[in-house]
Amino acid sequence: MAPTLFEVQPKPGDLIEIERTMYSHWAVYIGNNEVVHLLPPGEDLLSMMDSSCAVVRRQRLSAVAPLGFRVNNLLDGKYAPRRRDVIVAEACKLLGRTLHYDLREYNCEHFATSLRYGKRESRQVKEAEDTALALGAVAAVALGAAFFAALLSGEGETKEKEREKRNRQGRRY
């Protein structure tokens, strides 16, 4: 089970990862048990895929993540985080705004990482794309192998038919 606010005290500017059924939701902690996050109209995957806009909201962390969360400043090793006061100020400036939303190009993780690092990235999208590429490669190899096997099988059948034809012709004479 993920930790709750009673077990972990995030610092302002920290990225908060909240596990959902098929994805993680991301928010920026701003202090006082509050987060700022980007929310499409519905939180189920289908409505997220359908939505082209989302609203920046401020909510209590305990309401957004009643079952727990984790502090996950996932790109600290790759990028230098911005100052905590700058992250919080930028997050608060965006409150109430409706922003473009796209599951692949600008989702809640892109929003959160852009506030913390000044660069938008979504590890979830990258992992999904990598998985899709890997599955596509496996499918291509499997199709290629099946085609090659069919080709060899067909070639063998053709040679066998030619042999039978010669044998029949040889018997006629």
CATH number of the domain that 50 lies in? 3.90.1720.10
For the chain, 173 residues long, give each residue's pLDDT as a single digit of tens.
Answer: 455 555 678 999 999 999 987 788 999 999 999 999 999 876 644 555 567 889 999 999 999 999 999 999 999 999 999 999 999 999 999 999 999 998 878 999 999 999 999 999 998 766 655 444 444 444 444 455 455 556 666 555 566 666 676 666 665 54
**In this structure, is residue 79 part of a structural domain?**
yes
**In this structure, is residue 9 part of a structural domain?**
no
pTM score > 0.75 for this model? no
Q: What does the alpha-carbon distance between residue 54 and residue 93 come to, in Å, rounded to a whole number?
A: 15
**In this structure, is residue 2 part of a structural domain?**
no
**In this structure, is residue 42 part of a structural domain?**
yes
Residue type, 113: T
Residues 117 and 146 in one domain: no
Residues 50 and 135 in one domain: no
| 3-state SS, one letter per residue, for 106-125 | ECHHHHHHHHHHCCCCCHHH
Catalytic residues, which ones? 25, 37, 108
**In this structure, is residue 8 part of a structural domain?**
no
How many structural domains compose the chain? 2
Residue type, 4: T
